[in-house]
Structure 1
Amino acid sequence: MTPPSLPVQRWWPWALAAVLPLLLFFWFRTRHADAPADAAREALALAKAPSPFGAALARRSPGAVAADSTRQCGVSWVGGDSIKVEMLAPLTKNHVTWMAQMPFGWQASATEPAIRTSYGRPSGRFGLWGESDAGLTYTARLAKSKGIRTLLKPHLWVRGRSSWPGDINMSSAADWDTWFANYAPFILHYAALAEAEHFAGLCIGTELQHATEPAHEKAWRSLIKQIRRVYHGPLTYAANWSGEYEQIKFWDALDYVGIQAYFPLSTQPSPPLDSLLRGWQPHLQKLARWQKKIRKPVVFTEVGYKTTPDAAAKPWEWPERMAAVAPADEATQARCYEALFRACWGQPWLKGMFIWKWYPSLQADGPARRHADFTPQHKPAEAVLARWYGQ
């Protein structure tokens, strides 16, 4: 007598678990033929790591949490000169469900209250088509057709010696009043765009750590009320990991907390996974205690790692601005991704993250300077991202 076949729902997860590592191995062999052998082996090992999600695997991993279908599986999308629908295929393949689009305003210096904007088709050094209203709208519509939601996340770019918005700091109360008077129409413009195009979220500021000091709480609350009258979707603010998120007094007026999660994890070059996991613990303990007071969900509005041996030491540093160019280290980047997801993805207060960053048309043989920076594209880190976002 032929034995009865097993029901599909009993055997297919185990078959997939057996075949997936082999498929990933051959994917890396074909797409990373020039990568170091140890990086490929490590990527394979990470791909074979057990998942903490899913009912069947939860039975094997006590204490694991179930996957949250509302979690924001995001990337920070780099606007370009154009976009085609096929550029979104890698996102859907990697289970990305959100993208952050980032238009810019410009300040002449960190102490200059004027903000220059370019909402139409930018020209010259003032932005790209993908950062214009037309580019943002068209990209969001294409993304929505593929099931990808948009978080509109305007940034300020500071010209001169500094290019970090955290350096913006006015020299007088009058200049701060002028700065907020200039910032209001800037962010309200994007609130109106987000409302008209039904964007799924709006970030009202990014790393403006002096502007968010307690002395300016009243100005932010007034601005948030204005934004709420224009845009009726969820609001957040993207606070720097180093102290800013703790100083903000207006979190209760927003829907969730945004944190630029460039937490340092290890000063050791090419640190092992267990060291990276230990490095996360003090940050997560502090975040968990703080979040209990705020009672708002948290999203990592940016998080990412360079492709360098010291990627975990100062994750916020851009490789082109470092004193010396470090050698490529794809294995360390992949380990940093694995540690990020293992340590953070199951936290009940974390509702998503946006990986920094994603170039729409980057090819495997594209510019070396792009492959050297934060993007996981065409590297072992991409497979780690896909595995976790797919759970």
Structure 2
Amino acid sequence: MKLFKSLLLTSFAVLQLACSGQSPKINGVSFVASRNAITEKSVQPVVRINANFAALMPFGFIRELSHPEIWFNTERQWFGEREDGIKQYAEELRKKGIKIMLKPQIWVSNGQFTGFIKMTKEEDWKTLEKSYSSFILEYARIAQESNFEILCIGTELEGFIDARPNYWKGLITEIKKIYKGKLTYASNWNEYNRTPFWDDIDYIGIDAYFPVDDKQSPTLEASKKGWQKHKIEMKTYSEKHDKPILFTEFGYRSSDYAGREPWTVDRVDKQVNLEAQAILTQALFEEFWTEEWFSGGFVWKWFHDYEKVGGPEDNRFTPQNKPAEQVLKTFYSK
């Protein structure tokens, strides 16, 4: 009954949004790469939730946090992580009117946090810079050739950016020589306010895993209240730089305490809590999707094999086959 009431409130909130005259938002999914090509069947669930954007995520790999070389776009990788896979995915998605953000990402062995990448010698920093330039400029070429609408130039690389800000400024100049579309960077939620190059790109990108509620089962009212401090800071920051905020990732696990540390990805056997995920998702939409300074976002994460993912026993991030999917569909509707 509690969840039913929440969904009724969601419908009312969307009606208010529709009457507000707001410009269309980026209603996106983070489309996970797989071993295989996708088909129309893979895209139909994206269409059904009224999404208008998909983030495609090719990966480059680093052996360890202090290793300076990135390998990428090789036959050893899954199809969806390579150039041919990205183009095939985009082709199928665009048949249904879905626009594309290309979001190349780095994976460090054992899933170590990319924000901790740090070299110990100047020559290794130089090698990393050269390697990262090769990586991102290759995907800038692909984004330009394929007319992708947005290119994300990096994801959660705060240590690299803090240590080498001049490199990143120069890199953006080089990217713009190749790619003529919109640019963003996916900063971690606690990183965005010290990222030095927002004035050089189009969106202030944030992976929005802000802590908003520390309860086992959050309420809508408390979750919305938990956003207020973060929201005020983001609005002020957006106005300072005269750039819109884009949630390059947002979402919650369907588990207890999902709003306490939303960035947690550990494979733990937490109690499944579908209602927590749905309520937290609704709170985020109600707080942000009516704001002029906010451009939208990409839910984390969406898998191509719809029937086999998510569901009532799953405590991971995907909203698929869960009540949170209905929240997405409602707010993503026009």
Contact 2:66 2:118 in 1 (8 A): yes
The corresponding residue for 2:99 is: 149
Aligned to 1:51: 12
Partner of 2:71, secondary structure, is: coil
When Rg is computed on C-alpha atoms for both structures, the one with the higher figure is 1
Once the two structures are superposed, residues 1-42 of structure 1 have per-residue CA deviations (whole angstroms, 9 ceiling, x without a partner) of xxxxxxxxxxxxxxxxxxxxxxxxxxxxxxxxxxxxxxxx33
Partner of 1:333: 277
The equivalent of 2:168 in structure 1 is 220
- Separation in 2, partners of 1:177, 1:370: 47
Q: What secondary structure does 1:212 align onto?
A: helix
- Deviation for aligned residue 1:288: 1.1
The 3-state SS of whatever aligns with 1:91 is helix
- The change in CA–CA distance for 1:265 and 1:367 in structure 2 (over 3 A counts) is closer
- TM-score when normalising by structure 2: 0.94
Find 1:248's aligned residue among 195, 202, 212: 195
CA distance in 2 between partners of 1:235 and 1:250 (Å): 11
Give unpaired runs (5+ residues) of structure 2: none
Name whichever of 370-379 and 103-112 sits farther off.
Answer: 370-379
Distance (whole Å) between structure 2 residues aligned to residue 167 and residue 240 of structure 1: 12
For 2:30, give the aligned amino acid: S
Say whether 1:350 aligns with 2:294.
Answer: yes
User: 1:318 deviation in Å?
Assistant: 1.0
Q: Sequence identity of aligned pairs in percent?
A: 34
Structure-2 separation of matches of 1:158 and 1:131: 15
1:235 equivalent in structure 2 = 183
Change (3 A) 1:382 1:246: same
How many pairs were matched up? 332
1:205-216 aligned within 5 A: 205-213=154-162, 215-216=163-164
* Structure 2 partner of 1:75: 29
Tell me, what secondary structure is at the counterpart of 2:306? coil
Deviations 1:100-154 (A, max 9, x none): 011111111101111111x24x33xxx3111111111011011111000110000
Instruction: List gaps (5 residues or longer) in structure 1.
Output: 1-40, 59-64
Q: Is the 8 A contact 2:310 2:321 kept in 1?
A: no
1:291-341 per-residue CA deviation (whole Å, 9 max, x = no partner) reads 111111111000110010111011110141x4xx11111011110111110
Q: CA shift at 1:200, angstroms?
A: 1.0
Q: Does 1:382 align with 2:325?
A: yes
Distance in structure 2 (CA, Å) of the matches to 1:232 and 1:89: 30
**Residue deviations 1:276-300 (CA, integer Å, cap 9, x gap):** 1111011001111111111111110
TM normalised by structure 1 equals 0.81
SS at 2:161's partner residue?
coil
* Residue of structure 2 equivalent to 1:110: 65
1:367 is displaced (CA, Å) by 7.3
Matches within 5 A, 1:174-193: 174-193=123-142
Equivalent position amino acid for 2:242 in 1 = R
Question: Offset of 1:377 from its aligned partner?
Answer: 0.5
Q: What's the secondary structure of 1:308's corresponding residue?
A: coil
2:84 corresponds to? 134
